[in-house]
């Protein structure tokens, strides 16, 4: 794939190191208005003119996306309920780009089927967002949209070998948490194994992508790409095939590198990108202390990633057995058993009664308390005793007025306290329910829905994250303004409403 004009050359460097756009994603999502080579020639001809205006040049030569500079949002007239509002938002969030110039010359990647965007500055298909959105689509009787998401995932695996972070050229060097199988499970719930069978080959291929490099490992403490050798087990980490500044956050990454001149830049950029692959971009979870200057994502074995891969192995074992592929089923079942034992050994702290990430470089668990600990409950990995201990900590340490804190650390990062996020509430609530802690599961779901409704009734908005420490607070922190829309919030909220009967009473 040829690098698109907004992503390369002196023009890219000039725009991304300037302050002409508040959001670094704006320019890399822009589309050339004319032949890209001619744009670069004009830039070189004009750039040293004393009267040269960089922003005017960009706006003359590129179509700059609307709504890129913040959370600009014009809500529809308020309908009778939040649920009705969410159902009305789905068609507004569906996209199927057919602008050939945007796909050929811009950073956008075309897909075979329509998809549901998150909203706001996120105008493309995102991997893990789409699963949580799909749960809401299913609850809204929009199964065709779920089918389209699954078809796009399958196409992506065939095209790239994995599902990219998003359908932008600058996000194809990494993936996101492996939730393709979970999305297929939505179709299985409605239609049985017949809905799964067409996707088994691509699900196998995605799993092999995660395990790629395991034959190259060279003893305990070594790692290659996304696999880590712990001596008696192989687990996974987040990674990115590129090791430079993110194109969509170029200035932020270069400035960070300049603040820590003693750090190897390639390693620093890789750690930043790996955190973006995790979806938790950014969180003190990935830091040695509480500052991004100490980010070390690639040194960690994340408990949630490995619990999700355990779930993939269990699903593939069951699905291959159902279609008569006994050898494949047994191999996946064995892999799941081995992974479960390794997660218990390296990520479970019996004294604390909680799951933590594990540093294979320092040979010790981290001390960061996060909602990643709920994913072993979600995938059925946790024992009854482990689930009970995690539930106690959620109730005593994480639960607030509007739901669950993401972590117990206030760092200013968006994936830390006081923010709460829809996907983590989904993992926590369904994990608790699966482990038999129904009352706490309902309490958390109810608090989340009530908080989202309070914000909606006050503002007419569904937003990507909330401050869960008090009624009606919006989330904050991170590299960009709070975004509206919002795909996974809509999906999880309406799915909770359906699951627990949490609709407005009139």
φ, ψ dihedrals at 189, nearest 5°: -60, -35
The DSSP output letter for 356 is: -
Peptide bond into 160 cis (omega under 30): no
Dist. CA 66–CA 77, nearest whole Å: 21
Q: What's CA 363's distance to the chain center, in Å? A: 27
β-sheet bridge partners, residue 467? 419, 473
Instruction: Give the residue among 405, 176, 409 at the shortest CA–CA distance from 283.
Output: 409
- Of the candidates 240, 281, 357, 467, the residue annotated as catalytic is 281
204 CB burial (10 A radius; 0-12, 13-18, 19+) = middle
Mark whether 281 is an active-site residue. Answer: yes
Torsional sign, CA 260, 266, 267, 273: positive
Q: Are 96 and 114 in contact (CB under 8 A)?
A: yes
φ, ψ dihedrals at 370, nearest 5°: -140, 165
Dist. CA 45–CA 54, nearest whole Å: 13
Peptide bond into 258 cis (omega under 30): no
Q: Are 29 and 129 in contact (CB under 8 A)?
A: no
- Of the candidates 169, 188, 253, 464, the residue annotated as catalytic is 464
For residue 106, count other CB atoms closer than 10 A to its CB: 25
User: What are the CA-CA distances from residue 480 to residues 160, 275, 423 (Å)?
Assistant: 29, 16, 19
φ, ψ dihedrals at 171, nearest 5°: -120, 20
β-sheet bridge partners, residue 301? 358
226: tokens are: 């996304």
SS3 helix, strand, coil % of the chain, rounded to 5? 55, 10, 35
Report how many helices (DSSP H) and strands (DSSP E) the chain contains, helices first. 19, 17
Dist. CA 281–CA 270, nearest whole Å: 13
DSSP for 270-312, written as a single string: HHHHHHHHHS--S-GGGBSSSSGGGB-GGGEE-HHHHHHHHHH
Dist. CA 58–CA 61, nearest whole Å: 5
What are the catalytic residues?
A: 281, 464
């Amino acid at each position: 794939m040829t690098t698109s004009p907004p992503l390369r050359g002196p023009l890219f460097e000039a725009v991304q190191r300037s302050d002409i756009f508040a959001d670094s994603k704006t320019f890399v999502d822009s589309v050339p208005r004319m032949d890209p080579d001619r744009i670069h020639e004009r830039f070189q001809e004009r750039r040293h003119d004393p009267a040269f205006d960089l922003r005017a040049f960009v706006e003359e030569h590129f179509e700059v996306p609307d709504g890129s500079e913040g959370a600009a949002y014009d809500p529809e007239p308020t309908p009778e309920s939040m649920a009705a509002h969410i159902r009305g938002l789905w068609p507004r969030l569906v996209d199927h780009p057919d602008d050939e110039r945007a796909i050929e010359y811009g950073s956008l990647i075309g897909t075979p089927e329509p998809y549901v965007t998150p909203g706001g500055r996120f105008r493309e298909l995102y991997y893990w967002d789409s699963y949580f959105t799909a749960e809401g689509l299913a609850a809204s009787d929009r199964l065709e949209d779920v089918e389209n998401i699954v078809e796009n995932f399958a196409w992506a695996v065939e095209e790239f070998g994995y599902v990219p972070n998003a359908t932008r050229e600058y996000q194809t060097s990494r993936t996101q948490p492996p939730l393709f199988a979970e999305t297929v499970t939505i179709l299985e719930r409605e239609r049985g194994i017949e809905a799964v069978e067409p996707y088994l080959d691509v699900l196998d291929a995605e799993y092999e992508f995660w395990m790629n490099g395991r034959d190259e490992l060279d003893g305990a403490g070594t790692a290659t790409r996304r696999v880590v050798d712990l001596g008696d087990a192989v687990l996974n980490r987040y990674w990115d095939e590129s090791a430079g500044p993110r194109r969509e956050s170029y200035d932020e990454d270069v400035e960070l590198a300049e603040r820590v001149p003693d750090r190897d830049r390639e390693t620093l950029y890789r750690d930043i990108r790996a955190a973006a692959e995790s979806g938790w971009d950014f969180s003190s979870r990935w830091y040695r202390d509480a500052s991004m200057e100490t980010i070390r994502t690639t040194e960690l074995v994340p408990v949630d990633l490995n619990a999700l891969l355990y779930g993939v192995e269990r699903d593939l074992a069951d699905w291959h057995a159902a279609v008569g592929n006994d050898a494949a089923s047994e191999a996946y079942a064995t892999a799941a058993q081995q992974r479960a034992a390794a997660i218990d050994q390296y990520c479970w702290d019996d004294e604390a009664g909680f799951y933590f990430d594990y540093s294979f470089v320092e040979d010790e668990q981290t001390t960061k308390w996060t909602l990643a600990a709920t994913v072993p409950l979600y995938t059925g990995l946790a024992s009854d005793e482990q689930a009970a201990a995690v539930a106690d900590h959620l109730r005593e340490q994480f639960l607030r007025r509007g739901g669950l804190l993401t972590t117990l650390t206030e760092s200013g990062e968006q994936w830390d306290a006081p923010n709460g996020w829809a996907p983590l509430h989904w993992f926590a609530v369904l994990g608790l329910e699966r482990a038999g802690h129904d009352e706490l599961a309902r309490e958390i779901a109810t608090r989340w829905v009530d908080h989202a409704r309070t914000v909606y009734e006050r503002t007419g908005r569904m937003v990507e994250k909330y401050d869960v420490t008090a009624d009606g607070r919006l989330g904050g922190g991170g590299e960009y303004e709070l975004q509206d829309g919002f795909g996974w919030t809509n999906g999880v909220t309406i799915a909770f409403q359906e699951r627990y009967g949490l609709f407005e009473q009139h």
